[in-house]
């Protein structure tokens, strides 16, 4: 909505960058030099997230309807109550869990080896993992298998 012509130019360039797949456009293009194979200008993140595909449709609708979808969404009292979670800011006093030893890369290899696509055939059988999001008063926990919980109490 800020630069429609620039957005259309970016959109038109995506297929030439290899960003188009069987189900539409892939999740992202990574231009981070430290993660690129030698001689590459970018890497395609070859995954599809249905909610991001849906967000694209809503964004297009929002442009056509002059921002009314965004205004109506943020006017809803339920959405206003969880607005800080939508911002995805890291809390100032959040403690950071150190990575497991097997997740830490060191040396020259870490700079030249591209990331590998993670695939969960049976997430319910893997070692438990979770993604935690909190604004300090309200927290959400999600697992790769789709389970989760939310509440006002913070897990400590």
Contact present, 120 and 144 (Cβ < 8 Å): yes
The helix, strand and coil proportions of the chain, stated in percent and rounded to the nearest 5, come to 35, 15, 50
- Give the predicted TM-score (pTM) of the model: 0.44
> Please, which residues bridge with residue 150 across strands?
140
Query: Within a domain: residue 138?
Result: no
Name the domain count of the chain: 1
Query: Within a domain: residue 88?
Result: yes
Contact present, 19 and 41 (Cβ < 8 Å): no
pLDDT attached to residue 112: 56
Give the separation between CA 42 and CA 60, rounded to whole angstroms: 26
Residue with tokens 């006002």: 152
What range defines the domain where residue 32 resides?
A: 4-121
Task: Return the structure tokens found at 15.
Answer: 């297929």
Query: Within a domain: residue 156?
Result: no
Residue 155: is its pLDDT beyond 50?
no
């Amino acid at each position: 909505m800020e630069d429609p012509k620039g957005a259309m130019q970016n959109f038109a360039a995506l297929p030439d960058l290899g960003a188009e797949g069987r189900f539409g456009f892939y999740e992202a293009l990574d231009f981070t030099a430290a993660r690129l194979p030698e001689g590459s200008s970018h890497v395609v993140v070859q995954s599809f997230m249905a909610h991001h595909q849906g967000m694209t449709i809503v964004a297009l609708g929002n442009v056509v309807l002059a921002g009314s979808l965004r205004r109506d969404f943020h006017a809803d009292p339920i959405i206003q109550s969880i607005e800080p979670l939508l911002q995805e800011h890291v809390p100032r006093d959040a403690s950071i869990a150190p990575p497991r030893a097997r997740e830490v890369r060191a040396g020259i290899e870490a700079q030249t080896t591209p990331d590998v696509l993670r695939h969960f055939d049976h997430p319910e059988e893997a070692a438990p993992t979770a993604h935690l999001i909190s604004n300090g008063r309200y927290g959400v926990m999600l697992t790769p298998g789709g389970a989760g919980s939310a509440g006002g109490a913070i897990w400590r």
